[in-house]
Amino acid sequence: MIDRPRMGRILVTEEDIAGAIEELAGAITRDYLHKRLLLVGVLKGSFIFLADLMRALPMEFEVDFLAVSSYGGGTTSSGTVRILKDLDTNIQDRHVLLVEDIVDSGLTLSYLMRMLKARRPASLRLCSLLDKPASRKKEVSIDYLGFTVPSEFLVGYGLDLQEKYRGLPYIATWQG
Ligand code: IMP
Ligand code: MG
């Protein structure tokens, strides 16, 4: 059973998420309709968001994944980014949209954007479901954003605490 006593309040409901996905998909469709889009999910946190987002996109696209690890199992960023799985796709001259669950310190994303830019894609943008701007250590510009959230530890809809709670259909605060 899910350990509910330590779960805080629900910050983003299932309905909120569905509404944001419709809006994000609309904006992405307008921008990429006639382009060959490659969606890149940052594992593991983004897989549920990406799965819902891609099913709301009416055009053709390809999907690839990167796996990174930046947290040593705790609730604050270690600041170290490790590439656990690189892309299968050559992104040179491709229109790449990186899909992330949350931008917190920005360390992971600024590292990834720099790494991918060096591969000379035709374009590189970032879509993130959540943004915690108050936690930022490195500037990251988010092209498509779902929600701005406070700097509390969050779980659900892909976000984990020590690999748990990713399957919650909503996003809740964690009272650690
Ligand atoms: P950053 O490098 O500090 O921006 O952190 C990026 C990654 O840390 C995100 O992609 C998440 O996977 C993870 N993360 C950041 N904040 C949270 C949170 O509140 N709950 C769960 N994971 C988080
Ligand atoms: Mg992540």
Residue nearest to atom 15 of ligand 1 (CA): 104
**Cβ neighbours, 10 Å, residue 162:** 10
pLDDT band at residue 170, thresholds of 50, 70 and 90? Answer: very high
Read off the tokens for 88: 């299968």
pLDDT at 2: 65
pLDDT at 6: 76
Q: Which atom of ligand 1 is nearest to the CA of 103?
A: 4
Residue type, 107: L
Q: How far apart are CA 62 and CA 39, in angstroms?
A: 6
**Which residues contact residue 60 at a Cβ distance below 8 angstroms, ignoring those fewer than 6 apart?**
36, 37
User: Counting ligands in written order, which one lies closest to the CA of residue 168?
Assistant: 1
For ligand 1, whether the C-beta of 159 sits within 6 Å is yes
What digits encode the pLDDT tens for the residues 73-90? Answer: 556 655 678 899 999 999
Per the annotation, the verdict on 143 as an active-site residue is no
For ligand 1, whether the C-beta of 70 sits within 6 Å is yes
Catalytic entry in 52, 101, 104, 131: 104
How is the beta sheet containing 82-85 ordered, strand by strand? 82-85, 61-69, 37-43, 95-103, 123-131, 144-148
Q: How far apart are CA 33 and CA 25, in angstroms?
A: 11
SS3 label, residue 112: helix
What digits encode the pLDDT tens for the residues 129-145? Answer: 999 999 999 999 999 99
pLDDT at 69: 81
Domains of the chain, start order: 4-70+91-174 (3.40.50.2020)
